[in-house]
Structure 1
Amino acid sequence: LTDVCNFKGQVHECHNGKMALDYIENKGEFASNGTTYPKPELILLDINMPVMNGFEFLDAYKVLPKDLRGGIVISMLTSSLNKLDKDKAEKYHDVSDFITKPITKEHLLDIVEKHFGKQMKS
């Protein structure tokens, strides 16, 4: 995101859904140093991840306190063309977009403009 879209904000990468939940809740490895991590504005959520997949993440995310999840845009990513995945994702009110990978620069620019009202230079 930073290289592709000249984004100047902070990007944090989590390799599975459990790690992402720990980040949001400041638990696990994210609680050890006493730092409160910034609440994400955007989550690019892959369906297929180790430990906890995207749907398992969404099930756990939807029961988090509202102050932890409110205002976060979730764009779900998949390499699958399975319509059932899209239908299932659409049942989660927290999912704002469903994007087939690979994600492109144009996808990222569209997400930013759609949800944050910002046009980024391409």
Structure 2
Amino acid sequence: MKKKIPCVLLIDDNEADNFYHKIVIERSEFAEEVVSVTGGQEALEYLQLSLKGEKTSPDLIFLDINMPRMDGWEFLQAYAALEKPDNERIIVVMLSTSKNPDYVKKANEINEVSEFTSKPLTAEYLEELREKYFSK
């Protein structure tokens, strides 16, 4: 049995996508806890509480790009400004329904972004992430 990562944070305004991705994560036995929020501001509030120890700090964030009010790019700007412990490394994977080359290029230029992939998440992709970032 593979080791589960402690916590995944899903940030997507589409509740159906969050629901589906949570099922894929749970069936893959990928994470102990899956938290889903429907916007960037809600995610920032969650992360601020996790920094205070009031919520579980995510090890991995799946971030949708196109969301109302605060899109994924705006979230990343605010996230970069959060005062995080130096030893905290949260893997951020940007999710999109399109493989727009401009999105991929922009994501690759942002330090906080580890990967860019298209929706939907698959068990195979989760396994790749587990091996790449969480197998040590």
The interval holding the TM-score normalised by the smaller chain is: 0.7 to 0.9
Q: What CA deviation, in whole Å up to 9, does each residue of 1:65-103 have, x standing for no partner?
A: 122893100011111121000111111111111101122
Aligned length: 111
C-alpha distance in 2 between matches for 1:92 and 1:98: 11
**Structure 2 CA distance for aligned equivalents of residues 74 and 6 of structure 1:** 19
**Equivalent of residue 50 in structure 1, options 59, 63, 68:** 68
Match of 1:17 in 2: 40
Gaps of 5+ in 1: none
Misfit runs of 4+, over 2 Å: none
Counterpart in the other structure of 2:26: 2
- TM-score scaled by length of structure 2: 0.74
* TM-score using structure 1 length: 0.82
Aligned to 1:83: 101
Unmatched 5+ residue regions in structure 2? 1-24
Structure showing the higher strand proportion among its residues = 2
Secondary structure (helix, strand or coil) at the match of 1:117 reads coil
* Residues 62, 95 of structure 2: 8 Å contact kept: yes
Alpha-carbon offset, residue 105 of structure 1 = 1.2
Q: CA deviation at 1:50?
A: 2.5
Alignment partners' CA distance in 2, 1:50 and 1:66: 26
Aligned partner of 2:39: which letter? N
> Identity rate of aligned residues, in percent?
39
Residues in 2 aligned to 1:62 and 1:86: alpha-carbon distance in whole angstroms: 19
